[in-house]
Amino acid sequence: MQQNNDAIADTANQTNLTTDCLTDIVFVLDRSGSIGSANFNLTKSFLSRLVSGLDVDGGSTRVGIVAFSTNVSLIFNLGSYSTVADVQAAISAINYTTGGTNTARALAYVRTTMLTSEAGDRSNASNVVLVLTDGQSDSAYNTRVSV
């Protein structure tokens, strides 16, 4: 798993994900019991390396993070940090917890709370939500998105 994470993060760094597009990215991190602390730390390392290729410092990209297990925890809102270094420091400080895999609650939280102007979402920016998880939600039915 570590080798795959390194390859993906290296590709992101080499590609330099900086664009002229405004992008608001919310990362949704699974920290349920099935992840384990070692894999959670790998996830944080991967995310930190991925963020290094984003144009946070230039303002094109805003990053927010939500972590979930049984409950959802706001780590930080979009626009809370304006430098890659600050985002990476916040990622490093995220603690691992245990519990269920309530992906549905996490996605509902992102939709209703994170992707709002009050939370830093910009109306002229593309929204990207990336869920990092090891598997199935506790409720596959409730996790589905209706289009």
Q: What is the pTM of this model?
A: 0.84
The model's pLDDT over 101-122, given as tens digits with 9 standing for 90+, comes to 889 999 999 999 999 999 999 9
Query: Which pLDDT band, with edges at 50, 70 and 90, does 147 fall under?
Result: very low
Top-confidence residue, 125 or 101:
125
Domains of the chain: total? 1
Residue 147 lies inside a defined structural domain of this protein: no
The residue-averaged pLDDT of 135-140 equals: 70
Domain with residue 61: its CATH number is 3.40.50.410
Torsion sign across C-alpha atoms 29, 47, 126, 66: positive
AA identity, residue 108: A
Exposure of 130 by Cβ count < 10 A (0-12 exposed, 13-18 middle, 19+ buried)?
exposed
Which residues fall within 8 angstroms of residue 68, CB to CB, at 6 or more apart? Answer: 28, 29, 30, 31, 32, 101, 102, 103, 105, 106, 109
The model's pLDDT over 1-42, given as tens digits with 9 standing for 90+, comes to 556 556 555 555 544 544 568 999 999 999 999 999 999 999
Residue 69 lies inside a defined structural domain of this protein: yes
Average pLDDT over the chain reads: 87
Structure tokens given for 101? 């895999």
Residue 130 lies inside a defined structural domain of this protein: yes
Residue 9 lies inside a defined structural domain of this protein: yes
